[in-house]
């Protein structure tokens, strides 16, 4: 009976570890996200996997995916962090993190990172790659309903 109770407890706790929605986005050497827009539900747990499918070295063509808080423009954020000295080794300067909802690590070729977050209130949230200069082309929209 103790074994059955333990298995039930493990099974129930395991159910809470899974996300409500899984999203996969890739970035490439042409500075493009394959997914320019996705939709999630407010309060939903989201697993977002980001993969750098490029082949160029991380120091030259690293990528990440940074979801910004509601109302923060990806273009303005990109310009702001460039002014703060964003670099290949510091793609999200500490002072800019107040504008960030969630972010992956900066990835080199064939690397991936998964972030888990709870979708915020309904609205439109922009995302970008914060590697210096990439924000001009690597942007997208997360819509929360």
For residue range 4-40, list pLDDT tens digits in order: 344 344 444 344 456 799 999 999 999 999 999 999 9
For residue range 89-110, list pLDDT tens digits in order: 999 999 999 999 999 999 999 9
Model pLDDT, residue 19: 75
Ordered alpha helix ranges (H), 16-64: 58-61
* Ramachandran bin of 22, using left for φ above 0, alpha for ψ from -120 to 50, beta for the remaining angles: beta
Question: Residue 10 domain-assigned?
Answer: no
Question: Residue 80 domain-assigned?
Answer: yes
Closest CA to 128 of 56, 59, 89, 80: 80
Question: Residue 9 domain-assigned?
Answer: no
Closest CA to 33 of 145, 110, 134, 144: 134
Structure-block tokens of residue 75: 């273009």
Question: What CATH number is attached to the domain comprising 126?
Answer: 2.60.40.420
**Whole domain around residue 125: which residue ranges?**
19-144
Question: Residue 94 domain-assigned?
Answer: yes
Closest CA to 26 of 53, 57, 45: 53
Prediction pTM value: 0.87
Model pLDDT, residue 17: 53
Question: Residue 92 domain-assigned?
Answer: yes
Q: How far apart are CA 26 and CA 112, in angstroms?
A: 9
Question: Residue 63 domain-assigned?
Answer: yes
Model pLDDT, residue 142: 98
Counting the structural domains of the chain, the total is: 1
What sign has the CA pseudo-torsion 94, 39, 119, 123?
A: positive
């Amino acid at each position: 009976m103790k074994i059955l109770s333990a298995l039930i407890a493990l099974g129930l706790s395991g159910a809470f570890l899974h996300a409500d929605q899984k999203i996969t986005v890739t970035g490439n050497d042409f500075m493009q996200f394959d997914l320019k827009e996705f939709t999630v539900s407010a309060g939903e747990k989201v697993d977002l996997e980001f993969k750098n499918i490029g082949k160029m070295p991380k120091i030259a063509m690293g990528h990440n995916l940074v979801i910004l808080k509601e109302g923060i423009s990806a273009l303005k954020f990109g310009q702001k962090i460039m002014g703060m000295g964003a670099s290949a080794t510091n793609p999200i300067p500490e002072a800019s993190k107040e504008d960030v909802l969630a972010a992956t690590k900066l990835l080199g070729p064939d690397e991936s990172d998964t972030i888990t977050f709870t979708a915020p209130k309904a609205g439109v949230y922009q995302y970008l790659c914060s590697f210096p200069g990439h924000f001009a082309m690597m942007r997208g929209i997360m819509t929360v309903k």
